[in-house]
């Protein structure tokens, strides 16, 4: 339980606080590990926009193998009451939804130049989810452009099918038309990216070497861009997107942010560079310590643009490398925001079907499609229903509930920077203080806090087995909060 010690408060006020906070004691045990943390309201940092998730609104094979014709999709497969529960209980609080063009939205028009819904009602489902959850909008990003524009004439692998100005002009028109299609169906397009992980698509991902003259086998929609083609495509399409949606947030490159050859190519065109709003990284399943120890790597070449991770999950092998994925996930959010000044952070999938064997590391929850299943990770879930994947969802839930959109992060002077204990402090748009604390260690840890402007905070604890445990109230400009092992706590002004 949290142990709270208050400084410089009248005896009568102290008594009132202790009376309503049965889990508190007046002082932390002196032998407990801890450190001092001075909150600096006078040193604001970045605005934290809110968090994002991806939605699997079409089929994909287990272990990411193939894109079957069968429709296995969410929210499509859920009964109405389960859709409502998903929107209200899991997804409320997210700001953005990542929409995988060419993968989870991969229908084509007759010419295969444009992406449209693949099954009746897909766009209606996405719009209904958007409105019911209350997200600001979608982060529209391609796993592959439509087949017409590729040398392979397929979603599976390959490069662009042309390299002259006429091709890029027509291709960029088609990309803009895809955005218009989404908007015409009521979807709010808030963010846009040209290509997910553009480094892949020219070599087999399954380890099999193709025979002479044979195309490499690709497990799902993917495309390779050379840095030159990536920059050239953006050169043509970005001005057209800006004309259509002047406030659209455009990011690059959903792989190695500002540090690699793609960003280097963009920097050769200063006018284009001005139109890129942020750099995006993929460091899926990595240890959250990297955001501390390798801060220079993630910020290299960023300039004045924000950097953030727009995909995080655990591959099956990653789950074996991380001692506590639950703690690592929450601390990944905190460390990106504290050490890379990130305005947002994305988890991968809201739900994965019980038939996808990688689902344990990928999903915040599971749903069961209709019909007979050959494999089932969660046999207790009824058809058309869903359930939480607690190790992943519980690590994120507190940030969704207690970190309001557009809060401003506050500087914290730390007496020692710890890997296993983290603090994230913010001030909401209405001026209310919020503090997130984590303890990935094996013993209780005391945060000796000072500099708080707020006189009253309410505590809430999240663990791998429990959500939103009430910890009562604490008051004072200085206090000690002792967090148990393997826990996140949120102390927020009421």
The Cα 374–Cα 357 span in angstroms is: 11
Task: Report whether 266 contacts 305 (CB < 8 A).
Answer: no
Render 217-284 in DSSP notation, one character per residue.
P-SSS-----HHHHHHHHHHHHHHHHHH-TT-EEEEEEEBTTTSHHHHHHTT-HHHHHT--EEEE--T
Locate 135 and state its tokens: 């997200």
User: What pLDDT, on a 0 to 100 scale, did the predictor assign at position 206?
Assistant: 43
Residues 6 or more apart whose CB falls under 8 angstroms from that of 11 comprise none
pLDDT of residue 219: 86
Q: Which of 341, 343, 322, 491 lies closest to 420 in space, CA to CA? A: 322
**344 upstream amide cis, omega within 30 of 0:** no
- Does residue 371 contact residue 354 with C-beta atoms inside 8 Å? no
Structure letter (DSSP) for residue 465? S
Residues contacting residue 416 through CB under 8 Å, at least 6 positions apart = 35
Is residue 23 scored above 50 in pLDDT?
no
| % residues pLDDT > 90 (the chain) | 86
- pLDDT band at 319; cut points 50, 70, 90: confident
Supply the pLDDT for residue 211: 52
Which ranges of 185-260 would DSSP assign to H, the alpha helix? Answer: 227-244
Q: How far apart are CA 389 and CA 413, in angstroms?
A: 35
Residue 215 pLDDT exceeds 60: no
pLDDT of residue 17: 35
* Model confidence band, residue 201 (pLDDT cutoffs 50, 70, 90): confident
Query: Counting runs of H as helices and runs of E as strands, what totals does the chain give?
Result: 13, 22
Please state, rounded to an integer, the average pLDDT across all residues of the chain: 91
Whether the per-residue pLDDT at 13 is higher than 60: the answer is: no
Q: Which of 358, 363, 402 is nearest to 51 (CA)?
A: 402
Give pLDDT, residue 31: 67
With tokens 């002196």, the residue in question is 30
From the CB of residue 278, how many other CB atoms can be counted at a distance below 10 Å? 21
- 425: pLDDT strictly greater than 80: yes
CA distance 462 to 104: 32
Domains along the chain with CATH numbers? 4-47+406-492 (2.60.40.1180), 51-402 (3.20.20.80)
For range 55-83, the mean pLDDT: 96
Is residue 417's pLDDT more than 70? yes
Q: What separation in angstroms does the CA of 45 have from each of 220, 306, 492?
A: 40, 12, 19
For position 318, what pLDDT does the model report? 86
Q: Alpha helix locations (H) across 289-382? A: 290-293, 295-299, 316-321, 325-339, 359-362
What pLDDT does 32 receive?
80
Over residues 381-395, the pLDDT tens digits come to 999 999 999 999 999
Q: How much of the chain exceeds pLDDT 70, in percent? A: 90
**pLDDT band at 74; cut points 50, 70, 90:** very high
* pLDDT exceeds 80 at position 212: no
| Mean pLDDT, residues 168-192 taken together | 98
- Read off the pLDDT of each residue in 353-365 and give the average, rounded to a whole number: 96
* Per-residue confidence (pLDDT) for residue 69, from 0 to 100: 95
What pLDDT sits at residue 202? Answer: 62
Q: How far apart are the first and last CA of the chain?
A: 20
CA 396 to chain centre: 10
Question: What are the angstrom distances between the C-alpha of 377 and each of 86, 177, 324?
Answer: 19, 39, 21
Residue 250 token pair: 């455009």
pLDDT of residue 217: 58
In the predicted structure, residue 322 carries a pLDDT above the cut 70: yes
Pairing outcome for strands 189-193 and 421-427? unpaired
d(Cα 492, Cα 468) in Å, to the nearest integer? 13
Measured CA to CA, the distance from residue 489 to residue 494 in angstroms comes to: 15
More confident residue, 206 or 441: 441
Per-residue pLDDT band for 8 (boundaries 50, 70, 90) equals very low
Secondary structure percentages of the chain, helix, strand, coil, to 5: 25, 25, 45
Average pLDDT for 417-441: 97
């Amino acid at each position: 339980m949290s142990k709270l010690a208050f400084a410089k408060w009248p005896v009568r006020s102290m008594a009132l606080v202790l009376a309503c906070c049965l889990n508190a004691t007046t002082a932390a045990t002196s032998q407990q590990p801890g450190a001092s943390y001075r909150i600096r309201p006078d040193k604001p940092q970045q605005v934290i926009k809110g968090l994002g998730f991806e939605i699997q609104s079409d089929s994909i094979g287990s272990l990411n193998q193939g894109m079957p014709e069968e429709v296995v999709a969410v929210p499509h497969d859920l009964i109405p009451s389960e859709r409502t529960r998903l929107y209200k209980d899991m997804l409320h609080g997210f700001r953005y939804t990542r929409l995988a063009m060419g993968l989870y939205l991969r229908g084509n028009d007759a010419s295969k130049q444009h992406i449209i819904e693949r099954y009746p009602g897909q766009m209606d489902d996405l719009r209904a989810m958007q409105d019911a959850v209350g997200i600001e909008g979608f982060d529209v990003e391609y796993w592959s452009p439509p087949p017409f524009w590729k040398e392979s004439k397929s979603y599976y692998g390959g490069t662009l099918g042309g390299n002259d100005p006429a091709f890029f002009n027509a291709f960029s028109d088609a990309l803009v038309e895809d955005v218009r299609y989404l908007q015409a169906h009521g979807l709010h397009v808030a963010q846009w990216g040209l290509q997910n992980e553009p480094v892949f698509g020219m070599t087999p991902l399954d380890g099999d070497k193709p025979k002479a003259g044979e195309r490499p086998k690709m497990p799902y929609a993917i495309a390779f861009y050379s840095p030159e083609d990536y920059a050239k495509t953006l050169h043509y399409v970005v001005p057209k997107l800006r004309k259509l949606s002047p406030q659209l947030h455009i990011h690059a490159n959903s792989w190695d942010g500002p540090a690699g050859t793609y960003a280097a190519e963009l920097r050769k065109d200063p006018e284009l560079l001005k139109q890129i709003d942020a750099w995006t990284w993929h460091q899926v399943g990595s240890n959250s310590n990297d955001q501390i120890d390798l801060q220079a790597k993630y910020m290299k070449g960023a300039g004045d643009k924000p950097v953030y991770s727009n995909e995080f999950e655990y591959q099956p092998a990653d789950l074996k490398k991380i001692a506590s994925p639950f703690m690592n996930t929450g601390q990944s959010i905190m460390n990106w925001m504290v050490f890379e000044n990130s305005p947002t952070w994305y988890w991968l999938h809201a739900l994965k079907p019980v038939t996808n064997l990688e689902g344990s590391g990928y999903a915040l929850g599971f749903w069961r499609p209709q019909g007979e299943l050959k494999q089932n990770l969660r046999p207790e879930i009824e058809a058309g229903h869903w359930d939480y994947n607690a190790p992943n969802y519980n690590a994120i839930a507190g940030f969704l509930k207690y970190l309001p959109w557009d809060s401003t992060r506050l500087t914290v002077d730390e007496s020692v920077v710890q890997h296993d204990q983290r603090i994230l402090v913010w001030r909401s748009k209405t001026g209310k203080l919020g503090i997130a604390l984590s303890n990935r260690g094996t013993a209780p840890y005391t945060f000796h806090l000072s500099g708080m402007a707020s006189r009253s905070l309410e505590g809430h604890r999240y663990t791998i087995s429990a959500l939103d445990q009430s910890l009562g109230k604490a008051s004072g400009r200085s206090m000690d909060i002792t967090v148990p092992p393997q826990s996140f706590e949120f102390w927020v002004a009421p």
